[in-house]
Amino acid sequence: MSTERERLDEIGKKIKREPDTAGVVVAAVAGTGTGTATPIEHRVPHRLGLGGAVNTVTPCAACKLLRRRCAQECPFAPYFSPHEPHKFAAVHKVFGASNVSKMLLEVGEAERADAASSLVYEANLRLRDPVYGCMGAISMLQQQVNALEAELEAVRAEIFKRRYRQAGAATGLMDDVQVHITAGFAAPPPPPSMHARDVVSVADAGGQGQELAGAPVISSASPPVYPAGQPSTSTTDYSSLNTSEHAAYFG
């Protein structure tokens, strides 16, 4: 870590001591009387920004905002394109240039692009919501995840209920079909044997005899019927006797 910082300090010192390349070229051309310029070796930095464009002339967004020369080993150049200066402006306003440089150097080179994108995202959210920042967006997303999980559980429960009902209905239908099939193919009961028939007939006859014995006996003799106007001969009518005929006898 200390070696990286020392290297960055050396780069900054070189930038301060390095003269303007354009001025050197103009002075060299003016110094030659023939007008032919001697070849001067100078390095033109080639950097790739976040947008994918190659930066060959203009400095990166960080160096442009800080108003300094952009060195070839500038830590901001690969991640902050000069075509999108608002990204580094937000990061610089929230975190500061030195803190951003330290955070980028603390992670591996393969992860620096993701780290720079995360810093830009968090800086924009912090400027939009100074109180919660990215935590507001995270909590909102968490609430959406919880709501979707609850909805998913409800749908799964409804699917389970419908499957259980369909299985129960199919089982009941199969039971009914099995009962009908079993009843259709059931063998009729065997006929009673001869001995059983005789026993049944004797039992029926005995029952009928008991019913007749228990019934009351009605006499066939009926009282005599006398015609109207003829008195019965069994009774004596004493009122018809003539007392005068027997008066002499009783004298």
Task: Let me know: does 18 contact 69? Beta carbons within 8 Å.
Answer: yes
- 15 and 87 share one domain: yes
In a domain, 232, yes or no: no
Last residue of a domain, one of 105, 128, 151: 128
Task: Let me know: does 78 contact 49? Beta carbons within 8 Å.
Answer: yes
DSSP letter for each residue of 141-194: HHHHHHHHHHHHHHHHHHHHHHHHHHHHHHHHHHHHHHHHHHHHTPPPPPPPPH
**Number of compact structural domains in the chain:** 2
Measured distance CA(195)–CA(175) in Å, rounded: 41
Measured distance CA(69)–CA(160) in Å, rounded: 68
Banded pLDDT at 178 (limits 50, 70, 90): low
Measured distance CA(68)–CA(16) in Å, rounded: 9
What's the mean pLDDT when you consider all of the chain?
68
- Output the pLDDT for position 182: 65
φ, ψ of residue 237 in degrees (nearest 5): -100, 105
Pairing of strands 47-48, 54-55: antiparallel
In a domain, 165, yes or no: no
- 90 and 155 share one domain: no
Place of tokens 């030659």: 32
In a domain, 178, yes or no: no
- 107 and 139 share one domain: no
In this predicted model, what pLDDT tens digit does every residue of 190-244 receive, in sequence order?
A: 665 555 555 555 555 555 555 545 555 454 445 555 545 454 455 555 555 555 5
Last residue of a domain, one of 86, 111, 128: 128
Of the candidate ranges 31-35, 79-83, 180-184, 246-250, the one whose mean pLDDT is the lowest = 31-35
Could you list the residue range(s) of the whole structural domain that residue 59 is in?
2-128
